[in-house]
Structure 1
Amino acid sequence: MARADETETEDDIFSPRKNDAFLGHEEAEKTILDAWNSKRMHHAWLLCGPRGVGKATLAYRTARFILSGGGEDGGAGLFGDSPNGLYVNPENPVFRRIAGGGHGDLKVIERKYDEKKKRLQGEITVDSVRTVGNFMSKTSAEGGWRVVIVDAADELNRNAANAILKVLEEPPANALMILVAHHPGRLLPTIRSRCRRLNLGALEEHQVVDLLGRYCPDMDLGDRDALSGLAEGSVGRALQLHEVGGLELYTELVTLIAALPNADVAGQHKFAERFSAADKDASFATITELLHWWLARMIRFAATGQAPREIVDGELPAMQRMAASQPLDQWLEVWEKINELMGATRGLHLDRKQALLNAFFMLEETMRN
C-alpha cells in the first residue's frame, strides 16, 4: 500500500514501486482513469492526504498504467471503463522495470540519502530537479509518455519548488507530473493552482487489517487489529510500528501509565533504559510519538466525554482516572511541557532515559496534586 517514508529501502517489499495492492481510494483511481479514457489527461496531479494512506502507491500505479500504454486492456473496457482500474500485472515488463528503478520514461524526485549523516536529507534540493524540464520535453524513449513523480512535493525547498513551477507553467505534450503531498498547504499556491488535486483520506480500520494480512501474513489477527487502531487509517504507519515493535512498546507504555499515581519506578527505569543507546533513534522517536498520541486521546476524552477505542487492556480506565484527577487546562499544560521536553531531547541529543523518566514524573505529580 504505502510505505513508512522515513524507513523505506529499495529492497523494501512494501515500497510503492513494487506494490500492486491498492484499497480504499477507488474514487480517486476512477477519476484518473476517466481522465485518461476521455483523452483529457491533466498534465499534473496533486495527490494529498496523511502519510501512509496510499498516495505514493497511487502515483506509481498511475505511472505503470500510462507507461504500459493504458494497462492490461489499453485503459478502457467494452463500455469505456476498465474492470481493473489502473492495475498492471506485476509480471508485466513495465511493472518490473519500474520496480527495479530502470524505466527510461519515469523519473522520480525524492530526498537523497546523506552518506555522511547516514540519513535522508531534510529537503529536496534544486540539484535533484534541475533535469526535470529537459527530461519531460524530450521524446519518449519508448514512443509513449514521460512521467515524473515528486515524493513528496512539500519537501521541496524554495529553489526546487520554483524549478518545478517553471515546468508546470509550460507543460510538454505527452508528459505527466504527479506530486505527492502530505501537507499541501506548504506548497507554493502557484504550484497548487496548476495541478488537478485529489484528496486521499485515512483508510478504514478493516482495510488496514486486510493490507497488513497481505504484507505480513504471519502476523496474528489480534496484532493486526491493534496496529490498525494505533495507525489511525495509515497502513504505512502500521508497517512502521510493526518494524520497530511499536505494539509491544505501546502496551508497556500503557501499563506504566495505568499504574500512576502509584509509580512502578523500577519498571519505568527498565523501560526508559531501552532507548538510551545511540542506535535507538527510531525507537525513541516511536515511543515519544506514542506517548504524545496517548495523551492527546486522553485529553480529547476529558474534553468530550467520548471514550476512544481501547487498543490494549487497561488504557480506558487509566484515561478515566487521569482525566478525573485534574481540570482539562492542567492536562493541556502538561501535554505541552512533555512535547517540548521530547522535542528538545531529540533536537539537542539530551539524555533520553532521563527525559522519559521526567515525563512519567510529570504525569504522576499532576495526578497527585
Structure 2
Amino acid sequence: MSGYDPQQAATWAPRHTPVLYGHAEAEKALLDAWASGRLPHAWLITGPRGVGKATLAFRFARFLLANGPAGSAADAGPSLFGDAPVLPDSLAVAEDHPVFSRVAGGGHADLITVERSYDEKADRWRGDIVVQDVRAVIDRFSKTAAEGGYRVCIVDAADDMNTNAANGLLKILEEPPPNAVLLLVSHAPGGLLPTIRSRCRRLALKPLNEAALGAALDRLLPDLDAAERRGLAVLAEGAPGRAALLAGQGGLKLLQGLLEMVGQLPKPDIPKLHAFGDALARDRSGTGFQVMGELFRWWLARLVRGAAAGQIGGAGWTEIFPGETALARRLSDWQAPDRWAEDWEQLGRLLDRGESVNLDRKQMLLNLFAMLGRAAAH
C-alpha cells in the first residue's frame, strides 16, 4: 500500500515514539501519581491492541528515568529564597535528551523490557514469555539503580506470559524493591492471574476519537490517499497501531478482494477463488491467512451489528471501500442477523481449528466459501 514504508515503520515502535495521541487523561493520572510522591509500584495498562498502551508505557518510563522521584525533581529547582520549584506538566522527554536515545536504543541500565524472546534452538520467536525472561527482572531489581533513581520494567504484553513466568512476576509484585516501577501492558486483562491484577493500579486506555486518530495517522501514514485513510480509519476502530499494522499487511486490499468474491455468491468466480487460496497457501508464515481470517470475522460482526440496528448505510456507518455498503445490504437480505451471528461463530471455530492443527489454508478458504454459499442459496 502506498501509505506504508517499512523503514519508516521501525521508528513507530513504542520505544522510539516521542508523541502520544488521545490519552491526556491517562497521562495526567500517571503524572499526578508521580508528583504526589506516592507512586504505585505497579501499573496495569489496558485497552484494545494498537491503541497506544506500550507507547504510553515507554513514555512514562523515559519520564521516570529522566526525572527520578518527585522529591528529587523538586529539590533540583530554585532554593527556598527563590520561586517555588516547578514540576513537569507532562510526561514528554525531548528527543535530544540522553535518556530518550538510550531507551530507544535499548541501552539504559535501569530499564528492562520483558517480551517474547527468540529461541535460538528452534530458530523462531517463542509463542509466549517464559520464566527465564522474568528472571532477568528479578536479577536487575535485586541490585541498586545504576543511576540512583528509578528502576523500570515494561512487560509487553503481560498476556503472553506462561504460567511459570506469571508466577515469577507475581513474586516481584508481592515484594517490590524501593523505587521500582513495573508497567504491565495487557490487551485482555481478564486472562491474567487475579493476584497479579489485584497488585496493580489499573489504567484503561480508550479508543481514540476521530480527531486524535486523524492526527496519529498523519504522523504514522502521511502518504495515505483519502480512500485508504478512510478505510483504514474504519478498520482501526480508534487504534492507530492497528491501522499502521494493517497498512503494512495489505489488510485493506486483502479484505476488499475477499468481499468481492463473497459478493459473487452463490456462484463465485472459481478460478479467482482458487488463485486467492493458492496465494494464501504460498505464504509460509501464515500471516496473510491470519489477517484475512481476523478481518473477515471483524467484518461479519460489523454486518451483524449494522443489520440488527438497521444502520447499514445510515448515520454512523462509514463505507470502507466503494461498494461495501451495497454488499452489506445484499448479505443482510440473505438471512437474519441472528443467523449471521451463528455463522460468525461457526466460521470462527473453523478458522481456529484449522490454525491449531495447521490444516491446508486453501482448503479452509474453500470450506469458508462453501459455508457462505449455503447462506446465499437460502
- In the TM superposition, residue 104 of structure 1 has moved relative to its aligned partner by 0.4
C-alpha distance in 1, partners of 2:196/2:360?
42
Q: Which amino acid aligns with 1:20?
A: P
C-alpha distance in 2, partners of 1:128/1:177?
14
Q: 2:280 aligns with which of 254, 275, 279?
A: 275
Which residue pairs with 2:322 in the alignment? 313
Closer/same/farther in 2, CA of residues 312 and 115 from structure 1, 3 Å limit = farther
Which residue pairs with 1:4 in the alignment? none
C-alpha distance in 2, partners of 1:191/1:305?
42
Task: Please state if 1:53 is matched with 2:51.
Answer: yes
- In the TM superposition, residue 215 of structure 1 has moved relative to its aligned partner by 2.0
Task: Please state if 1:247 is matched with 2:245.
Answer: no
Alignment of 1:181-260 (within 5 A): 181-260=186-265
- In the TM superposition, residue 348 of structure 1 has moved relative to its aligned partner by 2.1
Off by >6 Å, runs of 4+ in structure 1: 75-79
Q: Secondary structure at the match of 2:203?
A: strand
The more displaced of 354-363 and 140-149 is 354-363
- In the TM superposition, residue 52 of structure 1 has moved relative to its aligned partner by 0.9
Q: Which amino acid aligns with 2:60?
A: T
Q: Which amino acid aligns with 1:186?
A: G
Alignment of 1:16-55 (within 5 A): 16-55=14-53
Q: 1:357 aligns with which of 363, 366, 369?
A: 366
- In the TM superposition, residue 116 of structure 1 has moved relative to its aligned partner by 4.7
The more displaced of 184-193 and 273-282 is 273-282
Q: Which amino acid aligns with 1:59?
A: A
Which residue pairs with 2:10 in the alignment? 12
What's the TM-score, normalizing by structure 1? 0.90
Q: Secondary structure at the match of 1:320?
A: helix
Closer/same/farther in 2, CA of residues 80 and 91 from structure 1, 3 Å limit = closer
Q: Which amino acid aligns with 2:13?
A: S
Q: 1:133 aligns with which of 120, 126, 138?
A: 138
Alignment of 1:114-153 (within 5 A): 114-153=119-158
Task: Please state if 1:112 is matched with 2:154.
Answer: no
C-alpha distance in 1, partners of 2:280/2:211?
32
Q: Which amino acid aligns with 2:150?
A: W
C-alpha distance in 2, partners of 1:118/1:335?
35
C-alpha distance in 1, partners of 2:233/2:337?
28
Contact 1:258–1:315 (CA under 8 A) maintained in structure 2: no
C-alpha distance in 2, partners of 1:294/1:361?
18
Closer/same/farther in 2, CA of residues 317 and 154 from structure 1, 3 Å limit = same
Task: Please state if 1:64 is matched with 2:57.
Answer: no
Q: Secondary structure at the match of 1:131?
A: helix
Structure having the larger proportion of residues in helix: 2
Q: Secondary structure at the match of 1:13?
A: helix
The more displaced of 308-317 and 103-112 is 308-317
Q: Secondary structure at the match of 1:306?
A: coil
Contact 2:157–2:185 (CA under 8 A) maintained in structure 1: yes
C-alpha distance in 1, partners of 2:354/2:92?
45
- In the TM superposition, residue 292 of structure 1 has moved relative to its aligned partner by 0.9
Tell me how many residue pairs correspond in the alignment: 360
- In the TM superposition, residue 118 of structure 1 has moved relative to its aligned partner by 4.7
C-alpha distance in 1, partners of 2:259/2:87?
49
Contact 2:156–2:185 (CA under 8 A) maintained in structure 1: yes
The more displaced of 277-286 and 239-248 is 277-286
Closer/same/farther in 2, CA of residues 116 and 289 from structure 1, 3 Å limit = farther
The more displaced of 97-106 and 315-324 is 315-324
Contact 2:59–2:92 (CA under 8 A) maintained in structure 1: yes
- In the TM superposition, residue 133 of structure 1 has moved relative to its aligned partner by 2.9
C-alpha distance in 1, partners of 2:324/2:221?
26
Q: Specify every segment of 5 or more residues in structure 2 that has no aligned partner in the other structure, as ranges.
A: 1-5, 78-82
The more displaced of 174-183 and 303-312 is 303-312
Q: Secondary structure at the match of 1:276?
A: helix
- In the TM superposition, residue 269 of structure 1 has moved relative to its aligned partner by 2.3
Q: Which amino acid aligns with 2:304?
A: I
Contact 2:68–2:149 (CA under 8 A) maintained in structure 1: no
RMSD across aligned positions (CA):
2.5
Q: Deviations over 1:149-179 (max 9, x none)?
A: 1111122222221221111112211111111
- In the TM superposition, residue 147 of structure 1 has moved relative to its aligned partner by 0.7
Closer/same/farther in 2, CA of residues 227 and 96 from structure 1, 3 Å limit = same
Task: Please state if 1:322 is matched with 2:331.
Answer: yes
Q: Which amino acid aligns with 1:331?
A: W
C-alpha distance in 2, partners of 1:119/1:301?
41
Closer/same/farther in 2, CA of residues 117 and 288 from structure 1, 3 Å limit = farther
Q: Deviations over 1:314-349 (max 9, x none)?
A: 122212221222233432332222222222322222
- In the TM superposition, residue 112 of structure 1 has moved relative to its aligned partner by 0.8
Q: Which amino acid aligns with 1:228?
A: A
C-alpha distance in 1, partners of 2:345/2:352?
10
C-alpha distance in 2, partners of 1:50/1:328?
25
Q: Which amino acid aligns with 1:367?
A: A
Task: Please state if 1:334 is matched with 2:343.
Answer: yes
Which residue pairs with 2:165 in the alignment? 160
C-alpha distance in 1, partners of 2:149/2:370?
63
What's the TM-score, normalizing by structure 2? 0.88
C-alpha distance in 1, partners of 2:68/2:177?
19
Closer/same/farther in 2, CA of residues 80 and 305 from structure 1, 3 Å limit = farther
